[in-house]
Amino acid sequence: MRRPRRILGPTVLAAGLVLTACSEEVDGTASPASTAPSSSSSSSGSSSSSPMLDPELEQFCTDGKQVFTEVGSALNAAVDMGVEPMVDALQQTVDAFDAVTPPEEIAEDWSASQDGFADLRDTVAAVDPSAPDAQAQVDAVLDGGETTVGPAFERVGDWIDQNCPNG
């Protein structure tokens, strides 16, 4: 999984904060996150190279990674497209978060991320699409999201990186 990243600029939230999903693909090089899950209580006597995950955690890992992919795709597609496409993308983001139940360890940050995206959606929706500076207003809202949504969203991505196997 690639790790969440921020890209500075007017579309910080849409293009980067929203994670294009993760920072490191499985390309034959091991990352610290790919070795962490197998180092503790997951010691099975089998010769399988993949650690055993709790079925609920495994489902969350699959679903959580999908959320990051959907969020990144939706928001990247809406960048610089105006008010309505960004509102739609932010709604898709809120819906993606709502469809997944996170583990207790990150439930607060998961909820804060979802709430932050909902607030961004509502703020962008209040921008008059016919205003000459509508795109600049949308960009300003998204810039503010770097500090409001960014920290919780990044913690969720970090948790996924540390607790879910690459795949």
68-103 pLDDT per residue, tens: 888 888 889 898 899 999 999 999 999 999 999 999
Q: Is the pTM of this model over 0.75?
A: no
What stretch of H or E contains 76?
A: helix 55-78
Evaluate whether 39 touches 52 at the Cβ level (below 8 Å): no
Kindly report the backbone phi and psi dihedral angles of residue 53, in degrees, each rounded to the nearest multiple of 5, phi listed first: -110, 150
pLDDT means per 10 residues, the chain with 167 residues, are 34 38 36 34 39 78 87 88 94 93 94 94 96 94 87 90 78
Hey, where are the domains in the chain? 1-17+54-159
Q: Between 1.20.120, 3.40.1760, 1.10.10, 3.30.70, what CATH number should domain 1-17+54-159 receive?
A: 1.20.120
Residues near 92 by Cβ (< 8 Å), separated by ≥ 6?
70, 71, 74
